[in-house]
Amino acid sequence: MNKLLIFTIFLLLAFVTGSVCQNDSVSESDQPEINATGMVYNVVDGDTFNVTDFGRIRLADVDSPEMDTPEGEAAKLYTQLHLQGKSVRLDVDDRRGTDQYGRSVCVVYLESPTGEVAENFNRMLVDDGHAVVKDYKDNEFDPLDWWPSFRQVVIGEVELNPAGGDSDPDCEWVKIFNRGEEKVDVGGWTLSTTCGKCITLTIPEGTAIEPSERYLVTRECQWLDNSDESIVLKTDTNLEVDRTLPLSDDDNDGQIWFLNEDGTKWRYGWP
């Protein structure tokens, strides 16, 4: 990356840094488990850096672009701007502690001007477009905890095998429900099938689901298998929000799969 481009990115990110609220402390009821505190130095890339008196940190469950790309350079610069020379709080993985390279796997929190625990930097890196979620199941962390409103978005109804032809436009469909109390922006989220010829559909940018509302996803032609079909809902940053059980429908009528009212069991029948 040439020096002019790096300087341009630096100016843009400096502007963003000034606009990010840095004094929102984590609420008392959501206080993380802090295992260590130290100052950040030697930023390696967007998701890896060193902390004084502790060692090398690998941010848990996020993945920044490689350093041989312009996006990787920008991610590193973002981390430098927000963390270099600043004190951070570390929630270290209790399950394994380190990854295969000996780096401590952590959720990293900024420190507010008053010395309290502030923003989750793992989430910041994703929210500002410098990483995607990569949920490693061998650590204690669940990235869905970082976006509580996403937990309320579920796949609620599925029509695998409607009456008539499966290839008729919009005849096969999936409904996404927002069971929470906040509007959720689902623009760029994807629905992917897992059986047969796997299909991924992307929800248009700017789409939001209001509380207690639902959103219908269809396709111009067949996209859902009639047997053992699971459907996966992910955000635009690769965070898996929901996944159905393997569903089958051989009846070629109006019966559908749907979640019961408390969202604990899938049922098959007439809506």
Neighbouring C-beta atoms of residue 230, cutoff 10 Å: 16
> What residues contact residue 31 under an 8 Å CB cut-off, 6+ apart?
117
Q: What pLDDT does 5 receive?
A: 46
Q: Does residue 250 come out as left (phi exceeding 0), alpha (psi in the -120 to 50 range) or beta?
A: alpha
Output the pTM of the full model.
0.86
Q: What pLDDT does 109 receive?
A: 98
Domain boundary (98, 114, 146) is at 146
Domain boundary (125, 146, 167) is at 146
Looking at the structure, do residues 188 and 75 belong to the same domain, yes or no? no
Burial label for 74, CB within 10 Å (0-12, 13-18, 19+), is: buried
Q: What pLDDT does 31 receive?
A: 79
User: Which of 202, 156, 200 has the alpha carbon at shortest distance from 178?
Assistant: 156
Number of independent structural domains in the chain: 2
The CATH number linked to 244 is 2.60.40.1260
Q: Which domain holds residue 157?
A: 148-261
CA angle 234/237/240 to nearest 5° reads 30
Q: What pLDDT does 34 receive?
A: 96
Looking at the structure, do residues 76 and 208 belong to the same domain, yes or no? no
Q: What pLDDT does 167 receive?
A: 72
Looking at the structure, do residues 139 and 170 belong to the same domain, yes or no? no
Looking at the structure, do residues 195 and 246 belong to the same domain, yes or no? yes
Return the structure tokens found at 63. Answer: 């993945």
Give me the average pLDDT of each 10-residue run along the chain (271 residues): 46 44 46 94 98 97 98 98 98 96 98 94 98 97 97 97 80 96 98 93 98 96 94 98 96 93 90 78
